[in-house]
């Protein structure tokens, strides 16, 4: 496994840069499909996690009942969102936190940057957080002269490689151990000499690299997995201890929390903390969970801030079918089982939330953009089966396809089909014509290439030939 330290290293190429920038999904996916190393890394990693999850889920005989409860709690949260948000604010404030509200990414970033400056520093350590990825907090900080250091191992890898995350839980899933060793070797100033690609050695290098920063940081930025309205508490679920470091050691803590993260009661954690670790990392419980409520004398940060973030969520809430996407607890089980994600990876989706959940969240959070993502699915339904909060992703995908824009050609074809199908005689004539026209392919049973505009269909699928006898003829024959 170890390699000679003298071997010349391949230059670091950020994986996201290999895909055409801002390309629609089909175009980006096509490029990704042509990257054998990426596909091998993804197949290996998603295969590993699928097997772990399946084994751990099987241990619980009440898994389906837990899913039912979680889905119902989340639906209740959505229906009572204004009331719960205010309850959370009241209780967090009473416990010494300052609660801010942000309509959009810009507002959240400006509040966070101001708070960092007020803490008397220009750098922060960060706990892995999807909300801060979504608002591009790091990029905003850099633009205003602040520095955000990612401390989760995978986020650190992505940040050092100047890449973008490709998975919700394991943002560096697209890199294998050798590629990670090369990134550390070339981009981490204090990487030990002769670093091998043994995962334990790589983890040790990250520990040494970040330790002084943890122990001296003045401010930290986090997200939260859950926000408990009843107590005003925030919950962060993690593995490495980087979260605990960020949440405990600095004087100032700023947490960016999407409004959909609310839970009514502290006791609801008994449901979600069984579902989340098993669904995400395939563990009975993740190594560390931190729960904090405002600030406490002599224990942890004195200056505790919570930024409640909308950024498109209230728009999602307004859609009766689509709002279930707000139940997502970011476990990423749907990514790991998705046949599309497994082959294309996360970057092709062009959004911070990739995979099946991204395909329903991205177009709703940013209406008018990502309208191609609801089609990035075969509607096989595996995502719905593993979703711990029972989001019916295929239902929302179909709903968004119906709502989304449709190509002029598609509209014309559908209009024509409608006109023909509404006239029985015309329809029969059309069927006869199709049978006649497809005669040469009858024995094969399908046509591989149709001329334009049929080629739009056959470019990625075969066209079956019409049956020799249709239902109407068969019925007529029987009644005789």
Partner 1 sequence: MSAREEILERMRRALEGAGEAPPAPREYRRALDPEVDIVELLIDRLVDYKANVHHGLDAIPEALGGAKRVVVPGDLPEEWQLGGADFVPDEALSTADLDGMDAVLTGCAAAVAVSGTIMLDAGAAQGRRAITLVPDHHVVVVRRDRIVGHLAEALPMLDPTAPQTWISGPSATSDIELQRVEGVHGPRRLDVVIVGP
Which of 118, 139, 270, 385 binds partner 1 (CB under 8 A)? It is 270
User: Distance between CA 429 and CA 346 in Å, rounded?
Assistant: 47
79: which 2 tokens? 């229906």
Non-local CB neighbours of 23 within 8 Å, separated by 6+ positions:
31, 350
- Residue for token digits 């409520």? 293
Pick out residues in 17-36 that bind partner 1 (CB under 8 A): none
Structure token digits, residue 235: 């919950």
Residues forming a β-bridge with 148: 124
Rounded to 10 deg, the angle between the 177-187 and 199-216 helix axes is 40
Nearest to 381 by CA among 330, 334, 327, 312: 334
Applying CB under 8 A, the span of 229-237, 363-371, 424-432, 469-477 interacting with partner 1 comes to: 229-237
Rule CB under 8 A: choose which of 138, 252, 274, 327 binds partner 1: 274
Q: Which is nearer to partner 1, 129 or 465 (CB)?
A: 129
Distance CA(440)–CA(478), nearest Å, equals 28
Q: Per rule CB under 8 A, is residue 420 in the interface with partner 1? A: no
Q: Which of 113, 160, 173, 352 binds partner 1 (CB under 8 A)?
A: 173
For residue 52, the minimal CB distance to partner 1 (Å) is: 8
Gap between the terminal Cα atoms of the chain = 76
Strand, coil or helix: 35: coil
Minimum distance, C-beta of residue 287 to partner 1, in the bound complex (Å): 5
d(CA 306, CA 261): 12
Task: Closer to partner 1 by CB, 162 or 204: give it.
Answer: 204
With binding defined as CB under 8 A, does residue 395 bind partner 1?
no
Site string for partner 1, 137-166 (x = CB under 8 A): --------------xxxx--x---------
DSSP E strands, 216-251: 219-222, 226-228, 233-238
Residue of 86, 414, 421, 426 interacting with partner 1 (CB under 8 A): 86
Sites for partner 1 among residues 237-266 (CB under 8 A): 239-242, 244-245, 247-249, 259, 266
Residue number, 283 or 462, with CB nearest to partner 1? 283
- For residue 234, list its beta bridge partners: 227, 292
Q: How far is the CB of 74 from partner 1 (least distance, A)?
A: 9
In the complex, minimum distance from the CB of residue 130 to partner 1, in angstroms, rounded to a whole number: 15
For partner 1, the binding residue among 27, 207, 343, 428 (CB under 8 A) is: 207
Distance CA 475, CA 192 (A): 78
Q: How far is CA 53 from the centre of its chain?
A: 17
Among 114-122, 135-143, 187-195, 276-284, which window interacts with partner 1 (CB under 8 A)? 276-284
Is the Cβ of residue 29 or residue 275 nearer to partner 1 in the bound state?
275
227-235, 337-345, 377-385, 470-478 -> range binding partner 1 (CB under 8 A) = 227-235
Residues 356-375 that bind partner 1 (CB under 8 A): none
184: which 2 tokens? 């550390």
117 binds partner 1 (CB under 8 A): no
User: Is residue 115 a contact residue for partner 1 (CB under 8 A)?
Assistant: no
> How far is 221 from 246, CA to CA, in rounded Å?
8
Are 304 and 292 contacting, i.e. CB atoms less than 8 angstroms apart? yes
Token pair listed for 8: 């010349």
Which residue lies nearer to partner 1 by CB, 86 or 144? 86
Using the Cα atoms of residue 258, residue 260, residue 263 and residue 268 in order, give the sign of their dihedral: negative
Tokens of 395: 């239902």
Check if the beta carbon of residue 239 is closer than 8 Å to that of residue 274. no
- Tell me which residues in 36-65 interact with partner 1 (CB under 8 A): 41, 44-45, 48-49, 52, 60-62, 65
Q: How far is the CB of 164 from partner 1 (least distance, A)?
A: 16
Is residue 172 near partner 1 by the rule CB under 8 A? yes
- Binding residue for partner 1 (CB under 8 A) from 206, 227, 253, 331? 206
Cβ-based nearer residue to partner 1, 86 or 414: 86
The tokens for 66 are 């837990």
* Interface positions, 300-359, toward partner 1 (CB under 8 A): 300, 308, 310, 314-315, 317-318, 320, 323
CB 357 within 8 A of CB 325: yes
Instruction: Pick from 9, 106, 211, 442 the residue near partner 1 by CB under 8 A.
Output: 211
């Amino acid at each position: 496994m170890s390699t000679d330290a003298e071997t010349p290293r391949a230059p670091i190429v950020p994986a996201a840069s290999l895909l055409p920038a801002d390309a629609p999904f089909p175009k980006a996916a096509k490029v990704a499909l042509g990257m054998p190393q990426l596909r091998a890394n993804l197949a290996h990693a998603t295969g590993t996690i699928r097997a772990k999850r399946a084994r751990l889920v099987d241990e619980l005989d009440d898994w389906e009942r837990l899913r039912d409860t979680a889905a119902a709690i989340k639906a209740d949260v959505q229906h009572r969102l204004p009331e719960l948000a205010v309850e959370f604010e009241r209780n967090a404030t009473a416990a010494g936190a300052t609660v801010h509200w942000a309509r959009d990414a810009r507002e959240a970033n400006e509040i966070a940057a101001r708070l960092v400056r007020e803490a008397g520093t220009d750098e922060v350590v960060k706990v892995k957080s999807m909300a801060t990825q979504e608002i591009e907090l790091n990029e905003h900080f850099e633009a205003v002269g602040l520095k955000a250091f990612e401390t989760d191992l995978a986020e650190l890898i992505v940040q050092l490689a100047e890449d973008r995350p490709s998975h919700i839980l394991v943002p560096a899933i697209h890199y294998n151990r050798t590629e990670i060793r090369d990134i550390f070797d070339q981009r981490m100033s204090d990487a030990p000499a002769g670093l091998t690609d043994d995962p334990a050695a790589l983890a040790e290098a990250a520990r040494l690299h970040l330790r002084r920063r943890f122990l001296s940081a003045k401010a930290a930025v986090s997200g939260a997995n859950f926000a408990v309205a009843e107590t005003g508490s925030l919950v962060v679920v993690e593995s490495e201890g980087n979260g605990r470091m960020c949440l405990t050691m600095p004087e100032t803590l700023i947490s960016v929390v999407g409004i959909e993260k609310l839970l009514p009661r502290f006791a609801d954690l008994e449901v979600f903390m069984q579902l989340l670790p098993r669904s995400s990392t395939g563990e009975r419980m993740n190594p560390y969970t931190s729960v904090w409520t405002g600030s406490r004398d002599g224990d942890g940060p004195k200056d505790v801030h919570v930024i409640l973030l909308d950024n498109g969520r209230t728009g999602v809430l307004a859609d009766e079918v689509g709002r279930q996407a707000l139940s997502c607890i970011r476990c990423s089980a749907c990514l790991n089982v998705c046949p599309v994600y497994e082959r294309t990876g996360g970057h092709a989706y062009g959004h911070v939330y990739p995979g099946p959940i991204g395909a329903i969240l991205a177009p709703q959070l940013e209406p008018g953009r990502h309208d191609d993502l609801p089609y990035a699915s075969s509607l096989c339904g595996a995502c719905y089966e593993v979703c711990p909060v029972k989001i019916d992703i295929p239902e929302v995908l179909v709903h968004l396809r119906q709502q989304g824009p449709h190509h002029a050609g598609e509209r014309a074809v559908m209009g024509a089909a409608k006109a023909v199908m509404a006239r029985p005689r015309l329809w029969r004539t059309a069927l006869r014509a199709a049978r006649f026209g497809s005669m040469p392919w009858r024995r094969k049973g399908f046509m591989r290439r149709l001329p334009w505009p049929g080629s739009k269909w056959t470019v990625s699928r075969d066209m079956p030939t019409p049956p020799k006898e249709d239902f109407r003829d068969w019925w007529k024959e029987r009644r005789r």
